[in-house]
Amino acid sequence: MTEPSPTRELYPAIEPYETGMLPVGDGHTLYYELSGNQKGKPVVFLHGGPGGGTQPLQRRFFDPARYRIVLFDQRGAGQSTPSGSLEANTTRHLVEDIETLRRHLGVGRWVVFGGSWGSTLALAYAGAHPEACVALVVRGIWLGRKRDIDWWIYGLNRIYPDHWEAFAGHLPPWERDDLVEGYVRRLADPDPKIHMPAAIAWRRFDQSASTLLPREDDPAPAGPRTLAVARIEAHYVRHLAFLEDGELLRGIGRFRHVPAAIVHGRYDMIAPVEGAFALARAWPEAKFTLVEGESHSISDPGIRRALLEATDRFAGLD
C-alpha cells in the first residue's frame, strides 16, 4: 500500500514521571524512563543505531493520555553504563534486556515500536517473546542480512560517492578492502587522536544517507556519544548483527498473529525498500504502508503521519 506524505503534528512534548537505572548483568546497567499515563497501555520504544540512544522526541509518537510510554537506552548506549561497552553486547543480550525491563516494570504485554535497528530488534524480540507483544510498529525496516550490511558499508558508494569516498578515505589505501576491520581497530584504540576522528568519520557517513536533503546540524560532534555509537555500530556490523542470514524472516511464523504496522519510505537509502517488501510478503497479515517521497528519517512528514496513525490504532487493543 502506497501513500503520500501529508503533514501531521506529533503529540506535545512531555517529561518523564519516572526514571531509573536497571542492572541487567555482565556489568551493564540500562537507563529507562516512563512518561504519559501511568495506567495507560504500555508501549516500549526501541531506538536505532545500534547504540543510538533515546531522545525526548521519541515520546511524542504516542498519545500521552492513552499510553504508558517506556523509553530505554540499550547496552552501551545513551545514559546506560558503561558507555560504548561491547562486552556481552549482542542481539540476544538486547532481546533479553527488553524482557528483563518488562518484568521489572510489571508489564504483562506491551506494544513494541522500533525503527531502523529498532525494527531489527523488535522482530527479534517478537520471535523470542511473542506472548509479550500486543502489537508491533516497525519503521525503516533493516533485516540484518549480509546484503543489508554490504549495502550500508559498500553499496551506498553508488548513491553517495562523495560521502563514501570521505568515509573510505579516512583509512589508508591498503586497508580499504575491509573498511569494517580498519574502523574497528581505530575505534578500539585508546588514543583519542585515533579513535575520535574515526568515530566522527563513521557517524558522518552513516548520517549523510539518513535523509534525502543535507542536514543543517553536525550529525557527528566530537564527544563520548559519537564514539559510543560508532563503536557499537561497527561491532554489530563486524558480527553480521549477531543474526543468521535471513533469521528474522524465518521467525515470522512465531508472531504472525500479532497485529502489526510496517512503515517504510520509498527513498530510504540506509535500508532499501526491498527489505520492507520482503517483510510484507512474508507477513501479509501486517499492514504495510509505503510512503512515497520519504527517506529513512523518522522525522519525515509522511513517515511521522503513518506512525502516529498506527499508534493511535493500537492504543485501543486489549
In tens, the pLDDT along 297-313 reads 999 999 999 999 999 99
Confidence of residue 190 (pLDDT cuts 50, 70, 90): very high
Q: What is the pLDDT of residues 20-51, one digit of tens each?
A: 999 999 999 999 999 999 999 999 999 999 99
Burial (CB count <10 Å: 0-12, 13-18, 19+), residue 194: middle
* pLDDT for 2 beyond 80: no
217 is catalytic: no
List, for residues 91-125, the tens digit of each pLDDT value.
Answer: 999 999 999 999 999 999 999 999 999 999 999 99
> Which residue is catalytic, options 80, 83, 116, 119?
116
Kindly state the helix (H) or strand (E) to which residue 80 belongs, with its residue range: none
Q: Which among 156, 114, 163, 152 is positioned nearest to 279, based on CA atoms?
A: 114
Angle, CA 97 vertex, CA 86 and CA 27 arms, to 5°: 45
Which letter, b or e, does each residue of 229-267 get, where b requires 16 or more Cβ atoms within 10 Å of its Cβ?
A: bbbbbbbbbeeebbbebebbbebbeebeebbbbbbbbeb
* pLDDT at site 317: 86
CA distances for 46 relative to 59, 111, 180, 206, 252, angstroms: 11, 11, 25, 19, 19
C-alpha 58/C-alpha 130 separation (Å) is 24
pLDDT band at 249 (very low <50, low <70, confident <90, very high): very high
Active site residue 312: no
| Domains parsed from the chain with CATH numbers | 2-143+243-314 (3.40.50.1820), 147-241 (no CATH)
Beta-carbon contacts of 191 under 8 Å, excluding residues fewer than 6 positions away, are none
| Predicted local distance difference test score (pLDDT) of residue 6 | 58
Q: Give me the mean pLDDT over the 52-69 stretch.
A: 97
pLDDT in tens, 146-173: 999 999 999 999 999 999 999 999 999 9
CA distances in angstroms from 162 to 156, 204, 272, listed in the order given:
10, 12, 19
Catalytic site residue from 63, 206, 268, 300: 268
pLDDT digits (tens, 9 = 90+) for 66-82: 999 999 999 999 999 99
Fill in the amino acid letter for 4: P
**In angstroms, rounded to a whole number, what is the distance separating the alpha carbons of residues 59 and 56?**
6
Alpha-helix runs per DSSP H in the chain: 91-105, 117-128, 146-153, 161-169, 179-188, 192-208, 224-238, 247-250, 273-282, 301-314
Residue 88 above 50 pLDDT? yes
Contact 296, 271 (CB under 8 A): yes
Question: Which amino acid appears at position 65 of this protein?
Answer: A
Please state the rounded mean pLDDT for residues 133-141. 98
80 is catalytic: no
Query: What is residue 18's predicted lDDT score, i.e. its pLDDT?
Result: 98
CA separation for the pair 257, 98 (Å, rounded): 21
